[in-house]
Structure 1
Amino acid sequence: MAVRLGYNMTNFGWCHTAADLFPTVIAQAREAESAGFDGVFLMDHFYQSPTLGALDDPVLESYTALGALATATETIQLSALVTGNTFRNPALLAKAVSTLDVASGGRAVLGIGAGWFEPEHKQYGYEFGTFTDRFERLGEALQIITPMLRGERPTVDGKWYHVESAINEPRVRDDLPIMLGGTGERKTFALAARFADHLNISCRGGLLPRKLDALEARCAEIGRDRSTLETSFLAYLFIDESGDRARKLQHDFLLNRGVDLSEASDTERAAATSRMFCGAPDEVAEQLQTRVLDQDIDGIIVNLIANGHEPGIVELTGRTLRPLVDA
């Protein structure tokens, strides 16, 4: 699927009215496309994550929004990062992502994970279950979704799902990519080794070598060549032509989450910023090179949580990072 550089839209708290929201989303997607990003991603949540904003901040339903972006863009790949498996029947999800692929002319990617945010499940009436339940459901769902994306008609009578010769037409191709997202070395990585074309890893940067070693082990367990499974790292960027403004954006963002970097200890600062990259373009590039790309990861998907909605910031990010991932 070749996503070396992706742009993930997760924060819509800047929106003052609903009418202002989607034109800005389209503008960001088009800016990412023209700036050389390989993919645009939307998170699949009903509520905002507490690590990013207030629970009642505006959040888009991902597949409706991705369908709209399919008609507003021309070349960039489109995906959720990642679809919560608990939210949709797997056969319906296969149909939805295949329809997105048709609408976009073959640019859809199925990003999928087990689901993790309990409040939105409880308040929307979805069963949350235990950690083990959710991964059992994901594994079973992938046994239905994968053949449906490949033009097969699966019959599965499982613990969680039941389908009978499920048909999935129309499709524009039999190799729609599957991307798993997560950090679990046993369950997520094992499912990625079995089913995925791409694994997006979200963890503290210092853990990347261990994560990649674990992925190598999961691939070896089923006889898969690790080099056939693309990887990317999910990074949180605070970037601006002015490094001082970027640092202020980071400071203010964390202050709203209850962390004051001006008073934090070294340990507290390291914990709060372990997945963040901050500064002027050359500073951010150096940080991502040493902390991520030099660890043998294939690509980067970035969240511009503070200022991605500002015209020119996505373009600045693409101009800064494209040479790194192409090197």
Structure 2
Amino acid sequence: MSIRLGYQIPNFTYPDTPVEKIFDTVAAQARDAEAAGFDTVLVMDHMYQLPGIAAAENPMLEAYTTLGALARETRTVQLATLVTGNTYRNPALLAKTVTTLDVISAGRAVLGIGAGWFEREHDEYGFEFGTWTDRFARLEESLRIIGPMLRGEQPTVDGAWYRVRDALNNPRLRPTVPIMMGGSGEQKTFRLAARYADHHNINCYRPDVPHKLAVLRRRCEEIGRDPATLETSFLTRVVMTETAAEAKAIMADLPEHWAPITIAGTPDHVASVLHDEVLVHGIGGLMINMIRNGHEPGVVTMAGQALRPLISV
């Protein structure tokens, strides 16, 4: 596995698009991303749309059903969540789900996983939320089950949160399915990534990238892991348009809190910012979402053409 350029689809609200056509628009973006040189397509694992993007009532497709369908719409891109909420599924079932996705996609699944954070979803769907400490304890226990199952082992775990006994996971296509974690927590998240992950996606303000990378490397060194064996990428929101004026007009209609986490402008401008403020610090890959205009024909293609040269060296 190597994630160098990922396209995340976090929004399923498209103008003049009835429910029965939502997935067609999602699939079109995935196919365009594949053709434009993105190596990974990702969706969120949520039941409701997130605060800060749109109203909770806006459409949100279930992640693994969507990825399974995208497996038949694409041929080469890796498929993943960014990231699976650990609290939403039994870990053994999650291992089975991701392995099945790997089989039907001919070896293109990546398990993205995190502790879970959206309390409203937990409350209203009946999932136990617990404390921050609880959720990370659960995540580590899950990884002790999921990792071996992805490798074809039969783990037995009698934990505080989960119990499995000689859990089988067949059929499998590859020796394992890669594990990706996401987040910027330096104590819990980075430590778990260093111990269990193949890839870590960092989601932070751009000026914080050098510090976050340094801490992640330190977490690897603390357990004797070569930091070079843990791949990294950076997630950012992008508004890319043919002219700077178009991007400025879109940003003027968005909430103020979008500004620090969004790169807006022409393809050359977006590429320049990502190179100068992110990649120069040693991040290995980029993941972008284009919430406002990614569904428009030609936009994903434009982004791939602009960003692919940054990570093809």
Superposed displacement of residue 251, structure 1: 2.1
Question: Which amino acid is 2:136 matched to?
Answer: F
CA distance in 2, matches of 1:303, 1:251: 18
**2:290 maps to which residue?**
304
Amino acid in structure 1 at the alignment position of 2:293: N
Q: Give distance in 2, aligned partners of 1:176 and 1:250.
A: 38
**Contact 2:243/2:265 (<8 A) preserved:** yes
Q: Which residue, out of 293, 306, 309, partners 1:323? A: 309
Shift of 1:12: 1.5
2:72 aligned residue: 71
SS of the equivalent of 1:253 reads coil
The 2-side partners of 1:274 and 1:216 are apart by: 25
With the length of structure 2 as denominator, give the TM-score of the two structures: 0.98
Per-residue deviation at 1:290?
1.0
Residue aligned with 1:111, SS: strand
Report deviation, 1:5.
Answer: 0.3
Indicate the residue corresponding to 1:171 in structure 2: 172
Q: Does 1:12 align with 2:3?
A: no
Residue type matched to 1:197 in 2? Answer: D
Gaps of 5+ in 1: 260-270
Q: Deviations over 1:230-288 (max 9, x none)?
A: 0000010000112211222222122xxxx3xxxxxxxxxxx642221110111111111
Q: Is the Cα contact below 8 Å between 1:238 and 1:247 reproduced in 2?
A: no
RMSD (Å) for aligned C-alpha atoms: 0.9
**CA deviations over 1:36-55 (Å, ceiling 9, x no partner):** 10100000000111111111
Q: Distance in 2 between matches of 1:194 and 1:174?
A: 19
| CA displacement 1:127-183 (0-9 Å, x = unmatched) | 010000000000000000000000000000000000000000000011311000111
5+ long unaligned stretches in structure 2:
none
Q: Is the 8 A contact 2:263 2:270 kept in 1?
A: yes
What is the SS of the residue equivalent to 1:210? helix
- Answer whether contact 2:152 2:176 (CA < 8 A) is retained: no
CA distance in 2, matches of 1:20, 1:246: 27
Paired letter, 1:319 = Q
* Alignment match, 2:154: 153
- Percent identity at matched positions? 57
Cα distance in 1 for residues equivalent to 2:228 and 2:181: 16
Return structure 1 stretches of 4+ with deviation > 6 angstroms. none
1:10-51: CA deviation from partner (whole Å, max 9, x where unpaired): 011225311120001110000000001010000000011111
After TM superposition, the score normalised by the length of structure 1 is 0.94
Pairing 1:291–2:277 present: yes
Aligned 8 A contact 2:178 2:198 in 1 = yes
Q: Distance in 2 between matches of 1:181 and 1:284?
A: 22
CA contact (8 A) 1:250 1:306 kept: no
